[in-house]
Amino acid sequence: MIKTAPAPAAVAEGDIRASDADRDRVAEILREALAEGRLDPEEHAERIDTVYRAKTMGELEPVVRDLPAAGKEGARLGQEAYAHGPGAPVPDQNLVAIFSASVRKGRWQAPARINAFALFGSVEIDLTEAVFPQQQVQINVTAIFGSVEIRVPENITLRSSGSGVLGSFEVESNDAEDADAPQVVINGYAVLGSVEARPKRGAWIRDLRDRLWEGHRALRDELREERRERHHQLRQDRHEWHERLRAERHERRDRFRKGAGS
């Protein structure tokens, strides 16, 4: 009778090896918690150290268990590199410039719809460091004797269906190699004004992740140096305190000997 070998035991979810992308996502949750005041710098540094040392998913999960983002599909540990997915919708963003300027840039959550209106003014929309909670972002622009300028990361898809009326409507179309990459669609018109949209060369979504990772390392190193300096100062203060006590004991002993000999 032929005996069949037993099937190998399934690997528990917590025992699955963690990838660099998994560590990146946990580090991002910790960074948000630090920015919101949920963690102090020392707690953040300790948890980041744990993230760097983690080998499995089970070691990463406790690091964010008590943080709000941890409840969203296991801190989103198993998702792809992009942040879009189910969650609370981001409200529409309205940028208006009438004889003025309106700018939106830096790190921000891009909503599904952005409305830009420029009348004798200028609007600047910079998505190169934005987080994309959903895959598609629609930007509706109206430029009347004004200008709207849009910048996006190089590795997203950029589309347009706008037009110019005695003005310019220039959108540099771009196709991302990754089918899951965010898509930005620009609609609208320019009347005696201008609309310009193009990828910012060298600005990739993954670049932001790399910068955040470098920021975590810099903060960790800074906190370690501060702890080292505090530890050194405490040792020095303790040494001085012991020396002072020793000097006081010697002084009391000398006074006692002098009093006993008189």
What average pLDDT does this structure show over 174-192?
86
Q: Which residue has the higher pLDDT, 133 or 123?
A: 123
What average pLDDT does this structure show over 221-243?
80
Model pTM greater than 0.85?
no
How many other C-beta atoms can be found within 10 angstroms of the C-beta atom of residue 184? 26
Question: What is the Rg, in whole angstroms, of the alpha carbon atoms belonging to the chain?
Answer: 29
Residues 127, 188, single domain; the answer is yes
Does residue 37 register a pLDDT over 90?
Answer: no
pLDDT recorded at residue 118: 93
Does residue 221 register a pLDDT over 90?
Answer: no
How many other C-beta atoms can be found within 10 angstroms of the C-beta atom of residue 20? 9
Q: Is residue 42 part of a domain?
A: yes
The number of distinct structural domains making up the chain is 2
| Exposure string for 66-96, b = 16+ CB within 10 A, e = fewer | ebebbeeeebbbebeebbbeeeeebeebebe
What average pLDDT does this structure show over 73-94?
55
Residues 44, 107, single domain; the answer is no
Q: Is residue 72 part of a domain?
A: yes
Which one of 205, 227, 248 terminates a domain?
205
**Cβ burial, residue 8 (10 Å; 0-12/13-18/19+):** exposed
pLDDT band at 12 (very low <50, low <70, confident <90, very high): low
64-78, 123-137, 205-219, 242-256 — most confident range: 123-137
Does residue 146 register a pLDDT over 80?
Answer: yes
What average pLDDT does this structure show over 113-132?
91
What average pLDDT does this structure show over 156-178?
87
pLDDT band at 94 (very low <50, low <70, confident <90, very high): very high
| Helix pair 20-35, 41-53: axis angle to 10 deg | 180
Q: Find the domain containing 131 and state its range.
A: 93-205
pLDDT recorded at residue 217: 67
Place of tokens 């209106």: 117
Residues 112, 19, single domain; the answer is no
pLDDT recorded at residue 208: 47
Residues 133, 180, single domain; the answer is yes
pLDDT band at 99 (very low <50, low <70, confident <90, very high): very high
Place of tokens 């991002």: 28
